[in-house]
């Protein structure tokens, strides 16, 4: 016999405006009692039709006892009729997914918010199933959704810049965008730009290529972003040309990239007056490939110091040679490092 307070129990003669209203009330009762409820669609349709025809929907009988064990409060949330992802949780899950928050992390956050897994109202499996359905809905319309978003941003602010190209099969091939704030910021801090193409998207195989700088607070700022489909010269030429088109002051004074051979050609072609330098992070990262782990660990800081603090070529050569002597490098190791 369920232990539920009288005011939450169904009573003979109780009336409801619809079958959904009746089901919601009874399902709340079932949760407190410790069992699950279900109504098949054909029966629901029949009841709904009767209600629409003027038939009253009320309680004519109520059997309170059960011939099976009831669930405990800590387990009742696992029963089918009590595992539902509400509209609010669906919206939250969608936001989490867009921010790349994993499902496990989402559940932990919800447990903290609601005071335990039994109070969330759904399980991790329910969340995963919703995410799966959401992804299935997005299949085939991802590019259209992105372009629609860009178009809506353009409607909100005419200074929002975006452009894209499709291939022969009408698939998104490349795109570039920069919002109004980024374009204004470039006017003040666009003398030095970092162009980084080390980020690849797993699902589409496209490259995420942000163009960033640093403001007067030493904070990283984004000037624009692109999605080229490959790292070929043609794609980079298109992207950087669109970047110059979007920015009010044209090409930067200095651009910093990785040591990609295609990128070197592109910079010379698109930014002939711009000083091109290699990213220090990419340079230092190659030391681990050229040196054994112990030597890399012991002399990394001295090598980095020489690169960062040399103001003339002579100072750099001197500090470099000193670092190599301290590392006791000679022969092939020396040549390998000089190739960096």
**DSSP-based three-state secondary structure for 69:** coil
**DSSP-based three-state secondary structure for 117:** helix
What is the predicted pLDDT for the residue at 275? 95
Residue 137: pLDDT band (50, 70, 90) is low
Question: The tokens of 19 are what?
Answer: 């079958």
The rounded distance, in Å, linking the Cα atoms of 335 and 321 is 12
The answer to whether 9 and 64 are in contact (CB under 8 A) is yes
pLDDT tens for residues 259-299? Answer: 777 888 899 999 999 999 988 887 777 777 777 777 777 77
Task: Calculate mean pLDDT across residues 3-27.
Answer: 83
Task: Calculate mean pLDDT across residues 299-317.
Answer: 81
Q: Report the percent of the chain where pLDDT is more than 90.
A: 26
What is the predicted pLDDT for the residue at 318? 83
Task: Calculate mean pLDDT across residues 196-225.
Answer: 85
Residue 45: pLDDT band (50, 70, 90) is low
Task: Calculate mean pLDDT across residues 132-146.
Answer: 73
Question: Strand 207-214 vs strand 161-166: parallel, antiparallel, or unpaired?
Answer: unpaired
Across the chain, mean pLDDT equals 81
**78 pLDDT above the threshold of 70:** no
Q: Report the percent of the chain where pLDDT is more than 70.
A: 84
The rounded distance, in Å, linking the Cα atoms of 62 and 9 is 9
pLDDT tens for residues 84-117? Answer: 777 788 888 878 877 778 888 888 888 888 787 7
Domains annotated for the chain, with CATH where assigned, are: 1-76 (no CATH), 83-139 (no CATH), 157-279 (3.30.420), 286-338 (no CATH)
Contacts with 199 (C-beta within 8 Å, 6 or more apart), sequence order: 207, 208, 209, 210
What is the predicted pLDDT for the residue at 162? 96
What is the predicted pLDDT for the residue at 331? 47
**DSSP-based three-state secondary structure for 178:** strand
The rounded distance, in Å, linking the Cα atoms of 256 and 254 is 7
Question: What are the residue ranges of helices labelled H in the chain?
Answer: 19-33, 41-52, 87-98, 103-114, 124-138, 142-156, 180-189, 233-246, 261-270, 280-285, 287-290, 293-309, 313-326, 332-338
The rounded distance, in Å, linking the Cα atoms of 316 and 296 is 19
pLDDT tens for residues 167-203? Answer: 887 888 899 999 999 999 999 999 999 998 877 755 6
What is the predicted pLDDT for the residue at 74? 67
What is the predicted pLDDT for the residue at 210? 93
In the block, which residue shows the tokens 């409820």? Answer: 37
**50 pLDDT above the threshold of 80:** no
Contacts with 132 (C-beta within 8 Å, 6 or more apart), sequence order: none
* Furthest-apart CA atoms within the chain: distance in Å: 98
Residues in the chain: 340
**329 pLDDT above the threshold of 60:** no
Residue 52: pLDDT band (50, 70, 90) is low
């Amino acid at each position: 016999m369920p232990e539920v307070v009288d005011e939450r129990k169904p009573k003979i003669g109780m009336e409801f405006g619809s079958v959904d209203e009746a089901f919601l009330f009874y399902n709340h009762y079932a949760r407190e009692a410790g069992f699950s409820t279900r109504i098949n669609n054909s029966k629901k349709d029949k009841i709904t039709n009767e209600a629409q025809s003027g038939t009253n929907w009320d309680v004519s009988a109520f059997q309170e006892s059960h011939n099976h064990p009831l669930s405990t409060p800590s387990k009742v949330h696992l029963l089918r009729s009590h595992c539902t992802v509400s509209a609010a949780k669906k919206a939250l899950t969608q936001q989490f997914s867009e921010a790349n928050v994993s499902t496990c992390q989402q559940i932990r956050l919800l447990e903290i918010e609601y005071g335990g897994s039994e109070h969330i109202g759904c399980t991790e499996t329910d969340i995963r199933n919703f995410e799966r359905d959401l992804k299935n809905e997005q299949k085939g319309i991802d590019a259209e959704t992105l372009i629609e978003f860009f178009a809506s941003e353009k409607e909100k602010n005419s200074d929002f810049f975006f452009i894209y190209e499709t291939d022969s099969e009408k698939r998104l091939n490349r795109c570039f965008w920069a919002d109004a704030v980024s374009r204004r910021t470039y006017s003040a801090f666009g003398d030095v730009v970092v162009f980084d193409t080390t980020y690849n998207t797993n699902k589409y195989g496209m490259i995420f290529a942000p163009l960033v700088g640093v403001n007067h607070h030493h904070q990283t700022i984004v000037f624009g972003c692109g999605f080229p489909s490959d790292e070929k010269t043609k794609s980079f030429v298109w992207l950087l040309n669109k970047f110059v088109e979007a920015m009010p002051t044209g090409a930067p004074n200095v651009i910093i990239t990785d040591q990609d051979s295609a990128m070197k050609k592109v910079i010379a072609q698109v930014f002939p007056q711009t000083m091109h330098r290699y990213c220090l992070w990419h340079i230092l990262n190659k030391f681990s490939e050229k040196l054994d782990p112990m030597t890399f660990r012991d002399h990394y800081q001295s090598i980095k110091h020489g690169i960062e603090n040399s103001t003339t070529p002579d100072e750099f050569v001197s500090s470099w040679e000193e670092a190599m002597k301290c590392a006791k490098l000679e022969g092939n190791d020396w040549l390998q490092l000089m190739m960096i």
